[in-house]
Structure 1
Amino acid sequence: MSIIEYERQVLRLFQEEPKWRIAPFGVTYRVDTKERVYFDYDNRPILRVGPDGKGEIISPDAFVYFSMLADLLIDFDGHYDPDGLKIVTDVIDKHGLAPELRRRWELFQRDELPDPAWGGRP
């Protein structure tokens, strides 16, 4: 699947279920701190998970330094991964993100969710 086809799949998902736009969409691994940071589609940070596995919700406009962001909906060979949604829902369940995502969704609907610190996707 090409990147264009992949983007179409993602946009279709957002049209059918717009709330996915504010759900965990990408993750970065910080080697220096041994932590993971999850981001939404527009690159707003959501959750920092430390080496001990404990999660901490991060402000959507916080600046998080990272070198590479891995898309949770792409499999190992760069294709759209339908199982990616299960990975996302597992992260939401494991770290109790539902209330925070509900709060962000309400802000998003009112166009009050802050922009990410370094700009989002077009």
Structure 2
Amino acid sequence: MPVAKVGSVVLDCPDPRALADFYAGVVGGTVVDEGEWVDLKVPGGPVVAFQASPGYAPPRWPSADGSQQFHLDLTVEDLDAAEKEVLALGARPLDADDRTRTFRVYADPAGHPFCLCAG
């Protein structure tokens, strides 16, 4: 029997509300703003939380000397359509040139890497 269950996935960032709004645009859900801490409640999924972090420095991807810290794999039906949408929301491509793979890597507005994965 497990010791615990996942309560939320928490991302440090400079602007919790802005990053919660970005991910709400990508995966849906309801944003609950508590100032320094913002929850994104996604139906059928874990809570994704965003925490204000003074002096935040984004991870470097890819980098042998800098950890990416974590990343989200987001499953999509159409990679090209999803790419257009996340770019319009403020994502930037990190490694989206290889169109033969079943995933593409982006950074959210705070610099966290995430992947769009063919589902």
Give the TM-score of the pair, scaled to structure 2: 0.27
Higher strand fraction (1 or 2): 2
In terms of fraction of residues, the more helix-rich structure is 1
Larger radius of gyration: 2
Using structure 1 for the length normalisation, give the TM-score: 0.26
